[in-house]
Chain A
Amino acid sequence: MDAAILQTILFWIFSLLGLAGAVGLLINKNPVYAALSLILNFFSIAGLYLSLGAEFLAAIQILVYAGAIMVLFLFVIMLLNLQDEKGVLKYDARRGAAFVIGIAFVAEMMYVFRSFFDDSVLGDFKYGSVEPIGRQLMTNYLFPFEIISVILLSALIGAIVVARKHTYTD
């Protein structure tokens, strides 16, 4: 099969699935269903990364986002045993304003993209594999890479400090 046809099919399947997942996140009143819709969205974005040639990021997207972060979200949702949210689809002025702002944002971004970038067909791209990314991490981005480990450690300690049960014994 021709590569352009394959990319077209992949793009349409994954973009429509991703948008469906995003809409599902907005309209589901049960937070567990909303989290599952978001997982669908994350998988679709991984598919879009693949169709763009960024296969390392696609793998990381599934492992870190759909695997780790969303499992954490589902743990917290089930731990808290939340009720369904009431009036998700009811219309009021705040929802109308949010909708208008969303439409205005999309129109503005598309105007910016149309004005400043030429309508380029997707070209050849070969920086998505592990080798160039690993090379970059160990040379040009070594310092940010080390800083990330400090950020993750501080997030770990901060989460324990914030979420633990406070017992004042003094």
Chain B
Amino acid sequence: MADFDTPELKDFLETPALCPGAMEHSKPFVAAPNHQEDLGFPGELVENWQEKAIDRMGELLDTNRALRVYLDSCVKCGACTDKCHYFLGTGDPKNMPVARQDLFRKVYRRNFTTAGKYVPWLVGAEDLTEEVLDDWYSYFHQCSQCRRCSVYCPYGIDTAEISMAARDIMDHIGVGQKYSNEIIGKLHKIGNNLGLPEKALANTLEGLEEDIEDETGVAVKMPLDVQGADILLVTPSADFFAEPHVDGLIGYAKVFHAAGASWTVSSYASEAANFAMFIGSQAQMRQVAQRIYDAARDLGVKRIILGECGHAWRVAYSFWDTLVGPFDFLDPAYPHPVHICEYTDDLINQGKLRLDKSANDDMTLTFHDSCNVARATSMGGRPGGQFEIPRNVIKAVCNNFHDMADDTIHEATFCCGGGGGLLTDDLTELRVKGAKPRMQALNAVVEDHGVTHMAAICAICKSQFSKVMPYYGLEMDAIVSVHQLVSNAIVLEGSIQEEELDGSAEDEDGAGDSAATEVTVASED
């Protein structure tokens, strides 16, 4: 399948032997001049790039206090060294978070600290040479900005912030990454990462409406650009395009239908993702978020609901208000923003959804916490809600659920291996190796508890897993959307599924009783 070896899964996760330089060759394609210029960055490496890079570093240090604290406070305790999935999967010591940070820190020390300026050899300070830049490009594109290391750092140093800053500096001197920058440019022009134009979006949604009607006998709508709708659904464009994402989208539509909600998708803001976070560009991040703000205001919606997208939920939850807020035109009676899992969970708790758990009896589920949701947000307005709510939804629609090991879930979750702008074919080796810790944990519950499927609430995770699972001997469709499970279980009024459960309208006697017992909101294991 590829010219590298897939890591072997053992009984437990080992800290690998060090293999210096093992991943030195791993570099994503460099952005073409037009990808760069579309975002206002220089097309190629500028002449005085060293000077420009240090200038930009200075600007970032002035505007981002946390960055300076992260650079100053590391005491080299080593707590982070074995926490990165890319280190665990590759053994390359530069994938230890502290070593990755030091690629940046040494340049910072040389240029922004007194000791580094006068006695660089004493404090590990170095100039930004061509060699160092080369290392930056390679290893700052081997960080998925998942922030697992920061959970274990006694100082809370956030490597993601450092890798974002490094990528921002590289963009400013003309060395951007093709995958992320091309996508952001596409979003500016067309409204989503895929480049799905309005006509194709409308056609796709119509096709999905037909599919749902074929399956359920109910005309569930997927409204587009409906002025005055109550809810704007903003979801990753992969939900319109890829598997198993699209099954999740069908699930949201069925939930909205069952709740009798007035909702719409916007063709102008047909993307939840905000890849500008990955490249550390606040200006780009604002521009991307602005589209959603404008669409919501122009459509006159009362609330915005986010679909299953990990980093989009982080941007919405943590940054929207600062970037483009206040969203004072929304109805203050609702929380803002709302995650689709919160919405569905709420309906389940109110008993408003009829669910037939047995529809998912062919699966035993586990849940993969996506990094950005797990470590950068919450749900339900309570601590830990981001862990509980998706699991509550799964347990309400499935009979068989088993969590993976404690040190691989919740805030200790392992990245899928494809986050942070690394979900690109030119990084396949990195993605496969970086998935090892998650695959190891999954494999353990597959073997010990008969788990057959893993559910996730992030488009990147879903695509990454369907690509890398076959390398580890798992089927590509062993990854499912949480709302795909909801979609399977939900019994819509007047549907074929309802008729199967209750019998046809003619023999309705007693159907009411049996229906009531099938409305299940329990959430035991």
**Chains A and B bind each other:** no
